[in-house]
Amino acid sequence: MRIVVLVKEVPDTNGERTLSLETGLVERSGDNVVDEIGERALEVALTYADAHEGAEVHVLTLAPADATTSIRKCLAMGAHAATHVVDDGLLGADLGLTAEVLAAALRRIGYDLVLAGNQSTDGMGGVLPAMLAELLGVANLTNLNAITVGESEVGGTRVSDDATIEVSAPLPAVASITEALPDARFPNFKGIMAAKKKPLDVLTLADLGVEAQDLSTPRSIVVAIEARPPRTAGVTITDEGDAGVRLAAFLAENHLI
């Protein structure tokens, strides 16, 4: 069993995140970390591997060259190997381009199950796992609050507004999990030392046989961006016996009722 876990390096979730007004991209010049939801997906894979001898956990990311530290953390947590896709042609890649490149990398790596978080904390697109499953031609289980991995199938529980749904699919498959899954383990000293010797394959678009300009179109682009206006003080209504009438008038004027 080979489980490939998609991870993403994002700006520190405890810090303030902003967009560049020149490029429209998220500013990544500060502290960057492995996205927490990706770590939770990695924990699912590692838990399975701990209980099943011969299972292999492989980490895959598309990130700038300086994301090595984040990848090594995943290896220190227990992943057996990692693949890092780096290419200047991927700067500002939209979800479509990202999915096609990751699909090409997955075909090269080989997989039985692809695990991912339901959405990243920076882009929050929430559609990448489904796009990958479509490109790979495999089943997709989305937004799982609980997951069970078997030798020949994967299943789990998805919670909607009106129901709890039990789903399953034969392998190979793509599955995405939510924050309902357990927190990831911390790397220990032994894992940190072992991570330095684990395979880390760095690939470019040329290695994958992909040319950015030849990938399917259309591509989404940013046509305009501006800073969010500063927050202003709200309207204060002091009750002088007519507060209800004035409140209703304010709501009606702003089309809130």
- pTM for this entry: 0.82
Question: For position 214, what pLDDT does the model report?
Answer: 61
Q: Strand ranges (DSSP E) for the chain?
A: 2-6, 9-11, 32-34, 56-62, 81-85, 113-117, 139-149, 153-159, 164-170, 173-177, 200-203
The one-letter amino acid at 229: P
Looking at residue 214, the DSSP 8-state letter turns out to be: G
Decide: 110 and 58 in contact? Cβ < 8 Å.
Answer: no
Q: Is the pLDDT of residue 102 over 80?
A: yes
Q: Which of 129, 173, 123, 111 is nearest to 148 (CA)?
A: 173
Residue predicted with more confidence, 215 or 80: 80
The one-letter amino acid at 158: R
Place 213 in a pLDDT band, splitting at 50, 70 and 90: low
Lowest-pLDDT range, 47-56, 81-90, 209-218, 223-232? 209-218
SS (HEC) of 59-93: EEEECCHHHHHHHHHHHHHCCCEEEEECCHHHCCC
Q: Say how far apart CA 178 and CA 138 lie, in whole Å.
A: 20
Taking domain 2-214, whether its CATH number is 3.40.190.10 is answered by no
In tens, the pLDDT along 132-187 reads 999 999 999 999 999 999 999 999 999 888 899 999 999 999 999 999 999 999 99
Q: Is the pLDDT of residue 92 over 80?
A: no
Please state the φ and ψ torsions of residue 67, each to the nearest 5 degrees: -85, 10
Q: Say how far apart CA 40 and CA 105 lie, in whole Å.
A: 22
β-strands 32-34, 9-11 pairing? antiparallel
* Exposure of 43 in the CB half-sphere (CA atoms within 13 A): 21
Lowest-pLDDT range, 16-25, 173-182, 223-232? 16-25
> Residue 49 CB: number of other CB atoms within 10 A?
19
Q: Token digits for 21?
A: 């007004």
Question: For position 221, what pLDDT does the model report?
Answer: 66
Looking at residue 104, the DSSP 8-state letter turns out to be: H
Place 58 in a pLDDT band, splitting at 50, 70 and 90: very high
- Indicate the average pLDDT of the chain: 89
Question: For position 126, what pLDDT does the model report?
Answer: 87
Q: How far is CA 23 from CA 201, 226, 238, in A?
A: 29, 11, 45
The one-letter amino acid at 7: V
Question: For position 93, what pLDDT does the model report?
Answer: 78
Decide: 105 and 60 in contact? Cβ < 8 Å.
Answer: yes
Q: Which of 85, 38, 26, 33 is nearest to 179 (CA)?
A: 38
Decide: 114 and 106 in contact? Cβ < 8 Å.
Answer: yes
Domain ranges of the chain: 2-214
Residue predicted with more confidence, 224 or 73: 73
Q: Token digits for 45?
A: 């894979």
